Amino acid sequence: MLRKGVLLRYTFFMMKNISTLTSCIVAVLMICTSSVAQTEAVWQDLVVEYVELNFSEESKPDIEQMLEDLEFAAKNPLNINSASFDEFSKLYLLNPIQIQNLISYRETYGSILSPFELKTIDGFDENLIRLIAHFLVFDETESDTIRYQPKQDFIVRAIQLLEKQKGYKQPKKYEGSRLKLYSRYRFSSKTIHAGFTAEKDAGESFFQKSNSKGFDFYSGFAAITFPRKKHQLFLGDYRLQFGQGLTAWHGFTMGKSVDINAGAKFNQGITPYTSTDENNFMRGVAAKFKSGRFSIFPFYSFKKFDANTDSIDNKAVFTSFQTSGLHRTSSEIEDKNSIKEQTAGAYLVYSKKFYSFGLTGIHTSYSKPLMRSDSKYNQYLFEGNDVSNYSMDYKIGLNKYFIFGELAGSSTNGYAYTGGLLAKPFDKIEFTSIYRNIGRKYNAPHGNAFIENSKLNDEEGLYLGLKILPLPKVSIQGYADFFKYKWIKYTTVAPGRGREFQLQLNYQISSSWNIYSRYFYEIKLVKTTVNTVKINFDQHREKIRFHLNGDINDNFFVRSRIEFMFYSHDHKSDGMLAFQDIGLASEKLNSTCWLRISYFNTDDYDSRVYAYENDLLYQFSIPSFYGEGVRSYLNGKVKICEKTDLWIKASRTWFFNTESLGSGYSMIEGNKRTELKLQLRFRF
């Protein structure tokens, strides 16, 4: 068992600099007593595979928050024979029709006593069962006392780019060191879930200068659940997730995806915030009170955020939101926490089995007025100190159909609606449709709905998704999305429109081998300059992917991919990427590792290609590649002893025919980029 004094001592050394990480690891190895470690659940890898397979690389959802939510669920699994519709929804992995089928089966045939029994429920295949089994218990007699033994864990992480960027050279522009540091603590019991997170990005100071108190970003939370789970209290940082995201939705969202059901949002209510995004959360107090079929979620938040400030007519204002979370240079530090935000509101919902109706009201106030630039694309975006939003949402389950939607308004005289249908009319066919109509005057600072545009404003669109199972082991799934703008966007000089298509063919070769091919096509109007005149001109993007993965045996795994990208607008450019992964898992050595080598070649940034990479626990890396080069990485995890785990990732990218990488203060002289990541987790 690790003594607390030793743990704190080595944690302090880790925070100092990258060279002490090695001594920390050696010390932990010496302190740990020999023990037979249990095989760690593989749910993290399964979830990451699911997300990487289904979501768009460019949408960048908050996977860190999702993985931590699922870890909490794995430690505190749901009883499949008593969990409610809303509790199943919080697992992210089940769509409403699957949940309806599960509950209906349970009511018809009684308790479900084994994961194998799920195979008889419509919508549950072998891969899904293998995944969700990590978050469920099937034994009705299992003791809550055993299941909810208090658990604690502490993680420290260090990341460093080994090549020195221009900002670190004399005259030095970055205030801090090249080391990126992360630390977090979590405590969970039957009634309390609490913790803190602290992070310092590369270039930010640590225990000096502008960060004399240590890390650049701190976040903490406590969630208290009262008896019978009817009431909850949230203190510190938390997330709001209501309706379909027109008024308030923080955290994970899938967006457009080959998982055709991913666009529909399911009520999560209020949950603790545990991620490192320095903007997308609330800070204050919130609660859940339940009486019969009614639940109410009141909340209040007061926090500071980064913004570009200015003075107009001798009046202090801010002109834009600064969302990078970086505080390295004097200008970035000046923008830090420059605006205060107060937000208050409530969500009232009536729920009964497979349907619910909710009402949301939220008001946001800023300490200084927002005054945007005079550009035409800003004409209908919110300005001033205060904005309010209100909405009504609904979810209705009807056997093989699920209807959902939200109608919202804002104090800027704007209105918005999004609604849709999930259907499984036949055993081997699934269908999804989502319609959205976001008015030009609609503004919601905490909204995050299903849209094409980056801002929740001025968009009308129709999404259609289809999945069919024509043959055993074969599935075809895809979507078509049609959208238009009635006003000017940042990327256009006039109202525009576009359409997007994606089709994927999957073949399950065996229980451990599968292959898929994917085709993506998008066309939309984007501005360009012709003879000094700016006009809208069609931008085309096409992507073709072939992917194979499987298990050679219980210890070796492989993944292979080749992808092509074709871009056309005011010029044409092409790109490609190919990689080979080899994975190893050893119960005897209590370790897993992944090795990748990849080659990429693109004409420019417009034809860039993305590729998911295995990473540290709670890290989800999808870098983009452009130019020509080779990238390789080694990522591994070792169970040092029963309660201590170590993750290491070393990666290097070689770029051909270039003498420098990046630009500005991030520029690196040379053609190589090397990164080292180390992480330790201690469980108590």
pLDDT of 214 strictly over 80: yes
* pLDDT tens for each residue of 268-294: 799 999 999 999 999 999 999 999 999
For residue 60, the SS3 value is coil
pLDDT at 222: 97
Tokens of 182: 């992360």
* pLDDT tens for each residue of 643-663: 899 999 999 999 999 999 999
Query: What is the residue-wise DSSP string for 507-529?
Result: EE-SSSEEEEEEEEEEEEEEEEE
pLDDT of 17 strictly over 70: no
141 confidence band (pLDDT: 50, 70, 90): low
For residues 16-33, give the mean pLDDT.
42
pLDDT at 609: 94
| Domain segments of the chain as ranges | 77-146
Instruction: State the residue for tokens 């990427």.
Output: 577
Tokens of 582: 């080899």
pLDDT at 56: 64
Specify the higher pLDDT residue, 616 or 561. 561
- Helix 63-75 with 43-54: angle, nearest 10 deg: 150
CA–CA dist 290, 322 (Å, integer): 38
pLDDT at 228: 76
Contacts of residue 665, defined as CB under 8 A and 6 or more positions apart, other chains included, come to 165, 166, 167, 173, 174, 328, 329
Q: Which of 532, 531, 541 is nearest to 572 (CA)?
A: 541
150 confidence band (pLDDT: 50, 70, 90): confident
For residues 53-65, give the mean pLDDT.
66
Beta-strand relationship, 315-321 and 269-272 = unpaired
* pLDDT tens for each residue of 388-422: 999 999 999 988 899 999 999 999 999 999 999 99
Contacts of residue 95, defined as CB under 8 A and 6 or more positions apart, other chains included, come to 123, 261, 264, 402, 422
pLDDT of 24 strictly over 70: no
pLDDT of 253 strictly over 90: no
Query: What is the residue-wise DSSP string for 342-374?
Result: EEEEEEEEEEETTEEEEEEEEEEEEEEEE---S
CB 452 within 8 A of CB 498: yes
pLDDT at 71: 80
CA–CA dist 522, 506 (Å, integer): 21
Share of the chain above pLDDT 90, in %: 64
Find the angle CA(455)-CA(662)-CA(280) to the nearest 5 degrees: 30
pLDDT of 467 strictly over 90: yes
Tokens of 516: 């898929």
Q: Which of 391, 317, 399 is nearest to 354 (CA)?
A: 399
pLDDT at 19: 46
pLDDT at 360: 97
pLDDT of 52 strictly over 90: no
CA–CA dist 154, 156 (Å, integer): 7
**pTM of the entire predicted model:** 0.89
Q: Which of 240, 242, 257, 243 is nearest to 405 (CA)?
A: 243
Lowest mean pLDDT of 17-31, 81-95, 403-417, 596-610, name the range.
17-31
CA–CA dist 339, 369 (Å, integer): 9
CA–CA dist 488, 380 (Å, integer): 10
607 confidence band (pLDDT: 50, 70, 90): very high
* pLDDT tens for each residue of 494-513: 999 999 999 999 999 988 89
- The single-letter code of the amino acid at 115 is P
**Cβ atoms within 10 A of the Cβ of 379, count?**
14
Q: What is the mean pLDDT of the chain?
A: 88
For residues 571-585, give the mean pLDDT.
95
pLDDT at 57: 64
27 confidence band (pLDDT: 50, 70, 90): very low
pLDDT at 13: 40
Query: What is the residue-wise DSSP string for 612-661?
Result: -B--STT--B--EE-SEEEEEEEEEEEEEETTEEEEEEEEEEEESS-SEE
Specify the higher pLDDT residue, 253 or 378. 378
**Cβ atoms within 10 A of the Cβ of 156, count?**
23
Residue length, the chain?
684
Give all strands (DSSP E) within 92-251, no chain letters: 136-137, 151-161, 179-188, 192-200, 217-225, 232-241
CA–CA dist 427, 442 (Å, integer): 40
Domain 77-146 has CATH 1.10.150: yes
Q: Which of 444, 433, 274, 235 is nearest to 360 (CA)?
A: 444
pLDDT of 22 strictly over 50: no
For residues 207-217, give the mean pLDDT.
94
Distance linking the first and last C-alpha atoms of the chain: 9
Beta-strand relationship, 232-241 and 282-291 = antiparallel
Q: Which of 479, 435, 489 is nearest to 457 (CA)?
A: 489
CB 64 within 8 A of CB 278: no
pLDDT at 353: 82
18 to 178, 345, 677: CA distances (angstroms): 10, 45, 9
pLDDT at 366: 97
